[in-house]
Amino acid sequence: MNALFIVLGFILLTTGQQLPWLFVATAGFMFGNLIGQQPFLGFSGPNLILFAIGTAVISGLLVIYFRKIMVVIAGFLAGVYICYSLPAALDWNTAWISWWVLVIAGLISAAIILVWNTLPLILVTSLTGSTLVIQYTSFQRISELMIFVIFFLFGITAQWVLMQYNKPGEG
């Protein structure tokens, strides 16, 4: 399962803004993985993976009809995920994280994606992808913060270049 999260992280780092359905499906997968582990559902092993894939497929299909709202919802989920997982992945103090802090982080992420769309989407997908990669990998001689910064800058650069490449020619 860790390898799957790492692959999803790299995909978000490079194509998060270009393929919004993939961003939404990844957010759906992470949400399904989190919800599936809760005691009221209690999935584990293959059942958890199937449940998470099911939420990803449903999320990805809903983008066809409700693109803007699904991207905003995925932005909310990504903001919550970043706020919850990034400090723990960097071995920072997480005592300050509570449900209302997570809701505020999600609302801020969703709001900036709703208002400005492209550039915040690059930022949020790069943060989410970087967090996924450092959370599920282990680098012995390099600090997690340094790896996070490298992947984050790589994600922003890759998506910015792809965005410029896909613009129609001027002149």
Domain boundaries, the chain: 2-165
In the structure, what pLDDT confidence band is assigned to residue 129 with cuts at 50, 70 and 90?
A: very high
Q: Locate 100 and state its tokens.
A: 């209302």
Question: What count of other Cβ atoms lies within 10 Å of the Cβ of residue 155?
Answer: 27
Q: How far is CA 42 from the centre of its chain?
A: 23
CA atoms within 13 A on the CB side of 139: 14
Q: How far apart (Å, rounded) are the C-alpha atoms in residues 28 and 79?
A: 13
Report how far apart the first and last C-alpha atoms of the chain are (Å, whole number): 48
Checking if the pLDDT of 171 tops 50, the result is: no
In the structure, what pLDDT confidence band is assigned to residue 66 with cuts at 50, 70 and 90?
A: very high
- How confident is the model over 87-118, as pLDDT tens digits? 988 888 888 888 999 999 999 999 999 998 88
Percent residues over pLDDT 90 in the chain: 51
Residue 70: name the closest of 80, 56, 82 by CA: 56
Mean pLDDT of the chain: 89
